[in-house]
Structure 1
Amino acid sequence: DVLVNNAGSPVERTSIEECSVELWNRVLATNLTSAFLITRRAIPHLRASGNGAIVNTLSLSVQTGGANGAGPYAAAKGALQVMTRTLARELAPEVRTNAVMPGVIETRHHEVFSTPERMERYRKETPLGRNGQPDEVAAAIVFLASDAAGFLNGALIDINGGRYLR
């Protein structure tokens, strides 16, 4: 059995300094609390399968702090990264918990929260010379959910075309 927590949205851009408590709570509800609630509900079923897998979708903003106005989003995704590692310890050996961390992927998310100029700049900053595609993220998620990743637990796959080599 597999659970993929893939919700993600900055909701709206604002600095942390100017972020209202209401917006902060909406961003956390979308990007963190939803994953917590669904995961908590799924744990008994995943444990019972004896070979469950959870894959959480983080964001490159965990490394960068987010683009201008995406600090609350980055904070929520950073907390989801910590939750991923915590679950990897708490649920093993019955359930493996891993994460993907997409960089700039050409999705509706970036159409709404970015600009064509920024997307072009990201493309130029990426050693592979392009932005990512949704199917590339999906392939990594399928791998982490599969038996081929049976010895991965608490792992993080960066999907950013080398843009942020560590």
Structure 2
Amino acid sequence: MFFQNYQHEFIYTGFVLIVLLIIRFFINKVIGKISRKNGINIARIHLMQRYVSVALFIISLLIIPFIFGTQAKDLVLLFSSVFAVIGIGLFAIWSILSNITSGIIMFFSFPYKVGDKIQIHDKDFPIEGIIEDIRAFQLHLRIENGDLVTYPNNLMLQKAVTLIQKDAIDEYFEDGTDLI
């Protein structure tokens, strides 16, 4: 009975999801082609593709309630309540928000890439290593003894960093070990 009453809405929802999946497929293809043409690192390509997927998921969360007859004022009330709770929670744990913001800044303006050998000039914990991965919250560095060090993104933007050697992975991993 429920499915019969909302049969058209489920069909429209399926259509919207299929259209969004097709859009995601084409956008990811375009991102891949343009990025490879411009020499952008594969890790950043994947990160851009993940952002596209999340954005399209959020768009689907906004469209589907309208298909089922939800009023805009109801959605505004719901989202404002959710954002208020999230805002209070994020304020309580500001370092997570700081790392996410730093990750976004690093994504768009970080002068280093996966494979670069860098030195972080930290008075308490100076570190030198090869960038293995750049994530939303932290940077993964492989130090000379083979240990993996995670370094928070917000500290990466606060500390002085020296680029020692570009694409230094081959120096430590001559056998072609895939780090990612």
Q: Which has the higher contact order (CA 8 A, sep 6+)?
A: 1
In the superposition, the TM-score normalised over structure 1's length comes to 0.35
In the superposition, the TM-score normalised over structure 2's length comes to 0.33
